[in-house]
Structure 1
Amino acid sequence: MPLPLTDDFRSIVLQARPLIDVRAPVEFEKGSFPTSTNLPLLNDEERRLIGIRYKEAGNSEAVKLGHKLIQGEVKAQRVEAWQSFVQQHPDAYLYCFRGGQRSKISQAWLAEAGITIPRLKGGYKAFRNFLMNESLRISSETAPVIIGGRTGSGKTLLIHQLENAIDLEGIANHRGSSFGRFSTPQPSQIDFEDRLAFALIRYEAAGHRQLVIEHESHNIGRVYIPKPVFDNFQKGSLIILETPLEERVQITFDEYVTAALLEYGSRFGENGSKQWFDTMDGGLDRIRKRLGSERYLSLKSLLANAFKRQQANGDTEAHKAWIEILLRDYYDPMYDYQISKSPLPVLFRGNAEAVLDFVKQGKKS
């Protein structure tokens, strides 16, 4: 009796179905799906050796080597790992790269252990192609409302209040500026693209009339929005969130200092504050040429002195001084220039309350 196959990729996205990725760890790290867990049939070294045998002697000999390497206790451990996962996630599917030998073997070994689990038809490659095609289609069928505004205006805070918004910076795990790194790394480019596709498919399935995104450049940190999708986003309209400088300083301070210090402390313990300082200091280094020598050195000094005060008595208020200068003298002129050159039509300008009301009215119409 043949073991079950499925290519109902949309249901995987909408149901957040757990997936077992039986590819080698090196393949998983390059790109995987948001709901997948890597429980490999072959580790990296085993995959390398089998690959060499395949090139030298063909598929039959490579399969023989695979069975020789994965037998006895090694096989038992891998089957046990899959069994444990399926017991916790009985609705799981599994896949390899093309839905070929590795997933077939894994599926068969599980069946021998009394567990029937579907595998993805076409494997990782087919599901990935589906996601990329859906990203392109959905983004081409919606002209989004794009929330713009000067740095620190609270754009991300605003879109989190909307059900029909996609947080591109959240998907990219980056705040979108030279100082935007989190303590955890960004996803790989492939992972970012897959996460964006999941978000677009879920947005469409929810039946929303209007997609809302934040005004982003092509790149968000070191990942980038695929050009065809980015070009589709650029067919939308712009709403400018206007927030006073004093409020923007506080929003930036809350996010980049208070929240970031807690995040870094949670990850790095006692060394967290120093790791955070190095990230902020490195952000200044990355824009040194654009700041100019005098302003760069002044901001470096303000940051260093604020950090010394923070280390001495826990008071972080002094960080607002360099934040204000950076917003007013660097980010504001740059953003104003970009907006003046933007081809996006401006639909509306206003404070957070007015923008929320405008967007929600547009959603209803």
Structure 2
Amino acid sequence: MRVDELKKDIQAYAKTIGIDKIGFTTADIFTEMKERLKRQQELKYQSGFEKGSIEERTEPKRLLPEAQSIISIAVAYPSRLEKTPRGTKGDRRGIFARASWGIDYHIALRKRLDKLGEYIKARVPDAIIKSMVDTGELSDRAVAERAGVGFSGKNTSIITKEHGSFVYLGEMLTNIPFIPDEKIEDGCGDCTICLDACPTGAIVQGGQLNAQRCIAFLTQTKDFLPEEFRTKIGNRLYGCDTCQQVCPWNRDKDSHFHKELEPDPELVKPKLKPMLHLSNREFKEKFGHMSGSWRGKKPIQRNVILALGHYKEASAENDLIALMKNDPRPVIRGTAAWSLGKIGTDAAKEALSKALEKEDNEQVQYEMQNALSAMNIK
């Protein structure tokens, strides 16, 4: 079997199993990426969610010694809701980023990679394969860029001509020596729209992200959100799409190709107040199939509370007071105190004063005192 013929057959088969773009590259070391990651580490710009050492993330043969090639795949996902539910005063809604719409993309891409792997094995019985999606050591974006799937935008997303940056990425290491595809030339030019639009200045310069300032990362943390970011988060419950939404390459890009990736509007733009009262079981039953649930209920509920404070939603006052007084989690009590300070009613002020007298956690006490001080200044 000629490798070039096999490559064409794989490209054709990939389309039949819901892979929207596929590219091939070598298993050579990602030299430029290695230097970039070292610099990120020195600057403390990493999120902490990264898997593996810098060497494992940039040297494919550390993961599969027999590797000769890497196959990169991309699956396009929707960017717009067909029927968008609107929040109103007294009945506010939050938003999950588009990368959490539909079924967890890890599941969707693994199924496709498994099918692709089975196809290759049937054609080449002695083929060695190792696949990964997002949680693997390799950088999906670095692989996709070198494999010609798309170019790396200034917002650090892979941008494809056909689907913009609204694509999920995965890759497969193999011992088959495929002819590599050509990289795509940079398409950003002098454009800096994403840098200018980033709410927290997380895009330090084109192609460099300080993950510690990125709202997409911050919404996934479990501790108190640093104060400087609380007014920036808005009603985001998981992730942030701002740098993708403003990108000219994403204009008019809205891919509805895969049923399992279609969003349920009531889940991706959920009502805020009911989410305050979900048990762990209820949270998993309702949101567990979404990638945005991977960190559990706590960070989502913290973000719900921040969103209610953002809206100064007085109708949530009693809910927030109850959480501030009774919730066993200090982060939830303290964040509720912050939001009550934003709502700023006399009832909120009285509740804060009474709760402060009984609170024994120093960080929560600090939040309560700050909220009261801010209300006294008004």
Task: Flag the structure with larger Rg.
Answer: 1
Q: What range describes the TM-score normalised by the shorter chain of this pair?
A: under 0.3
Query: Normalised by the size of structure 1, how large is the TM-score?
Result: 0.28
Higher helix share: 1
